[in-house]
Structures are given as C-alpha cells and as structure tokens.
C-alpha cells in the first residue's frame, strides 16, 4: 500500500507539472475529432485538410490560437485567390504546363511569404489548389473554393475549442513563465555569493545566466500573445508589462552582481562583508521564491522586512570598510567591483520592492491595461 501511495503521489505531481501540456493535448484531440465530424456532415471532399488545419491552429493559449488563425486564414485566402486565377488563365493539361503554372503561382507567393510571415501558408495553398485537380478532376476554381472552406472549418473549430475546452489564457502563462525566471534567478544568487568568496574556474554562473536569458525570450513571445488577447477583449487581467519590466531590471541586477563576482573579494574586505552578503543573498533568494509562488497562485507576496534589515546590515559594514580605509591599497578594478556590488544590492532592494507592489496588483485583479509595449518586448530582451 505504501508503494501505491508513493506512486500515486508521484504521478499526480508529474501530471500537475504538465497541466498546460495536458490541456493542449485534450484541446487538440477534441478539435481533430470535431473537425472531422463537421467535414463529413458538410460532405467536404478532403476532410484531411480541415482536420490538419484545426490541429495546427490549436495552440497553447487562446491568444496564440487567435494569432495563428488570423495568419493562416490570411495566407490561405491570398494563396487560394491568386492561384485560382493563375489556374484559370494558364493552361495546365501537360506536365510541362503544370510546372510552368506552378512556377507562376508559387514564385510570387513565396516572395510574399518571405517578406510577411502572415502569408506563410500562401505558397502551400497554391500547390494544393493547382495539383489537387489532377487527382480529383475538379477545376482550379472549385479546388480553391474547397480549400478555403476546409481551412475555414478548421479555423472556426480550432478557435471554438480553444475558447470552450479548458481554455488557457496567455496571461496565466506569463505569470508562470515569470515565476520560473524568478526561481532561476533565486538559484543563481548562492552561486554568485560563492564566486565572491573563492575562485572557481568551473563556476556554473554563466550557464545559469544563459538559462535566465533563454527564459526571458520565451516570456517575451508569450507576452505578445497576452497583448493580442487584451486587444481582442478576451482578457481583463492587469497588463503584465510592468511585471516583465521589473523582472528584467532584476536580471540586470543579477548580471551586475555576476560581474562583481568575476574574482573573489580581497580577504580584508571579504572578512567584513561575507556575513552581510550572505544574509542579503539569502533574504533576496527567499523573497524571489515567495514571489514566484505568489504569481502562480495569484496570492499575496511576502513582506520585505528581511531584505530591509539585510541591506541595512550590508550598508553598515560597507561604511565601516570605507571608514577604515580598507580599499586604499587595493587595485582599481577591485575597488570598482566592490562599489558595483554595493550599488547592485541597493538597486536590487528597490526592484524587489517594485516587484512586491506589482505582484500585489496582479493578486488584486483586473485594472485598465495598455497593450502597446508588447510588440517591442522581443527587441528589448534581445
């Protein structure tokens, strides 16, 4: 019985971790089956393309499904209209004529798709419209019409399923992605503290910094989906942009601390600062983890009392170092790193206070939003 209980606990924990993926799997399954049924009811000649469209457009969040549907429908309509006209104008009875017609249709559409990703489906649609008549013996106009109808069925079904079957809003994914970043930064803090004390050629700091940067790029993409949801009045949650901005500033603080930890601090300085640095790092780490949990659960963040006290202790120790002239005979680059560390802690304290306020606003619910910054987020992170 104990084994079964542990196995059940382990399985439930793994399923909880994969909750968004399980939701997507269910939505995609429902979309495929439902689209097939509708295609049979409408007597569409090629249910395959409607089902494929529904599966492709059923995305992780409602916002991403909306973006994918608009782009896919635009590409399909453009490709179907253009290739249908090409098929009517150019003869295509022989293999050579079909090859020429394909070149005339696919060439300009490929150029359009490479210039505007919204029309990525256009060249594929042109191939479908021009080659399917060789199998079904339909005219290019009929082929184009059926192609549009099939894609429309897939688009409508995918959107309906995304809205109705365990819908996943992009805002929830933004909070989860931000919580993951905060947790990764929390894991990085003790590594940097160790680098301030001893020289470690094999320090994992650079690898962990890279993981934080990768998580930010994913967050920026999700934030664009959230902005699309708000612009379509599909979500009334607070704009997550202030949360992303303060998290980005915290990443800059961590990077600055990493630069200060390129080499260990001088022994006289480290003797005075070691305990305050460890206390501040521990308090900041615990606060980041608590904020990550608060964002995921939409609950109240932890208080800042421990961080306030830790910064005051560090400031007092730093003042003692300057008063006792411990930096007087130290190399210039080392002095710069010590002062950079002090500035880093002060800035981190201020940014953590903003993070607490922002997380509290998210917990308290909807407010007016401004969606204009989301499209520029990818460029800012890069």
Residue ranges per structural domain of the chain:
12-164, 170-381
> pLDDT grade, residue 241 (50/70/90)?
confident
Contact 184, 251 (CB under 8 A): no
Q: How many residues does the chain have?
A: 382
**How much is the pLDDT for 17?**
66
Provide the 10 A C-beta neighbour count for residue 208.
19
Q: Is 233 left (phi over 0), alpha (psi -120 to 50) or beta?
A: left
Question: What is the percent of the chain with per-residue pLDDT over 90, rounded to a whole number?
Answer: 23
Among 71-75, 146-150, 340-344, the range with the most confident prediction by mean pLDDT is 340-344
Angle at 7 between CA 3 and CA 9, to 5 degrees: 120
Q: Has residue 278 got a pLDDT over 90?
A: yes
**How much is the pLDDT for 256?**
93
**How much is the pLDDT for 370?**
37
Return the axis-axis angle of helices 332-364 and 241-260, rounded to nearest 10°.
160
Q: How far is CA 324 from the centre of its chain?
A: 48
Contact 124, 113 (CB under 8 A): no
**How much is the pLDDT for 19?**
74
Contact 127, 84 (CB under 8 A): no
**Which residues fall within 8 angstroms of residue 195, CB to CB, at 6 or more apart?**
203, 205, 258, 261, 262, 264
Report how far apart, in Å, the C-alpha atoms of 249 and of each of 4, 70, 110, 179, 354 are: 46, 34, 41, 15, 10
Least confident of 61-70, 308-317, 337-346: 61-70
DSSP 101: H
> pLDDT grade, residue 234 (50/70/90)?
low
Q: What's the whole-number mean pLDDT along residues 56-81?
A: 82
One-character DSSP codes across 11-32: HHHHHHHTHHHHHHHHHHHHHH
**How much is the pLDDT for 100?**
86
Q: What's the whole-number mean pLDDT along residues 10-20?
A: 69
Which one has a higher pLDDT value, 5 or 278?
278
Which residue's structure tokens are 């505007």?
A: 116
Radius of gyration of the chain (CA): 28
Q: Has residue 243 got a pLDDT over 50?
A: yes
**How much is the pLDDT for 349?**
94
**How much is the pLDDT for 257?**
92
Rounded to two decimals, the pTM is 0.66
Structure tokens at 275: 């305990």
> pLDDT grade, residue 10 (50/70/90)?
low
| d(C-alpha 280, C-alpha 285), whole Å | 8
Phi, psi of 201 (to 5 degrees): -60, -25
Q: What's the whole-number mean pLDDT along residues 53-69?
A: 80
Q: What's the whole-number mean pLDDT along residues 247-266?
A: 91
Q: What's the whole-number mean pLDDT along residues 114-120?
A: 84
Contact 205, 191 (CB under 8 A): yes
Q: How far apart are the first and last CA of the chain?
A: 52
Least confident of 57-71, 151-165, 201-215, 286-300: 57-71
Angle at 67 between CA 248 and CA 43, to 5 degrees: 155
Phi, psi of 285 (to 5 degrees): -65, -45
Q: What is the CATH number of domain 170-381?
A: 1.20.58
**How much is the pLDDT for 323?**
87
| d(C-alpha 164, C-alpha 151), whole Å | 20
Q: How confident is the prediction for the chain on average, in pLDDT?
A: 82
Question: What is the percent of the chain with per-residue pLDDT over 70, rounded to a whole number?
Answer: 86
> pLDDT grade, residue 245 (50/70/90)?
very high
Q: Is 166 left (phi over 0), alpha (psi -120 to 50) or beta?
A: left
Contact 289, 183 (CB under 8 A): yes
DSSP 119: G
**How much is the pLDDT for 186?**
94
Closest CA to 170 of 213, 217, 212, 221: 221
Angle at 373 between CA 23 and CA 210, to 5 degrees: 65
């Amino acid at each position: 019985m104990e084994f079964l209980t542990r196995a059940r606990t382990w399985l439930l924990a793994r399923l909880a971790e994969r909750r968004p993926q399980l939701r997507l799997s269910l939505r995609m399954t429902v979309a495929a089956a439902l689209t097939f049924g509708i295609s049979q009811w409408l007597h569409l000649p090629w249910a395959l393309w409607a089902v494929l469209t529904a599966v492709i457009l059923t995305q992780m969040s409602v916002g991403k499904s909306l973006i994918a549907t608009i782009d896919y429908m635009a590409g399909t309509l453009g490709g179907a209209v253009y290739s249908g006209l090409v098929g009517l104008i150019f003869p295509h009875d022989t293999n050579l004529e079909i090859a020429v017609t394909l070149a005339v249709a696919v060439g300009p559409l490929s150029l359009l798709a490479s210039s505007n990703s919204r029309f990525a489906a256009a060249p594929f649609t042109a191939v479908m419209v021009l080659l399917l008549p060789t199998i079904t013996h339909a005219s290019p106009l009929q082929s184009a019409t059926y192609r549009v109808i099939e894609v429309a069925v897939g688009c409508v079904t995918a959107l309906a399923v995304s809205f109705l079957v365990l819908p996943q809003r992009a805002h929830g994914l933004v909070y989860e992605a931000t919580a993951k970043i905060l947790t990764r930064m929390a894991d990085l803090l003790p590594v940097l503290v160790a680098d301030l004390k001893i020289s470690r050629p094999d320090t994992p700091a650079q690898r962990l910094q890279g993981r934080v940067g990768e998580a930010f790029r994913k967050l920026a993409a999700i934030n664009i989906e959230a902005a699309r949801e708000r612009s379509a009045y599909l979500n009334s949650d607070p704009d997550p942009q202030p949360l992303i901005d303060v998290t980005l500033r915290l990443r800059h603080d961590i990077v600055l601390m990493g630069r200060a930890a390129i080499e260990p601090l001088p022994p006289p300085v480290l003797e005075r600062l070691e305990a305050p640095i460890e206390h501040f790092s521990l308090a900041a780490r615990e606060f980041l983890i608590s904020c990550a949990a608060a964002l995921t659960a939409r609950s109240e963040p932890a208080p800042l009392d421990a961080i306030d006290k830790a910064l005051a202790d560090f400031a007092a120790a730093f003042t003692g170092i300057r008063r006792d002239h411990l930096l007087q005979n130290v190399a210039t680059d080392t002095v710069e790193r010590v002062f950079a560390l002090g500035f880093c802690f002060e800035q981190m304290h201020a940014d953590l206070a903003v993070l607490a306020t922002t997380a509290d606003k998210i917990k308290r619910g909807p407010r007016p939003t401004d969606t204009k910054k989301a499209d520029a987020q990818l460029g800012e992170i890069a």
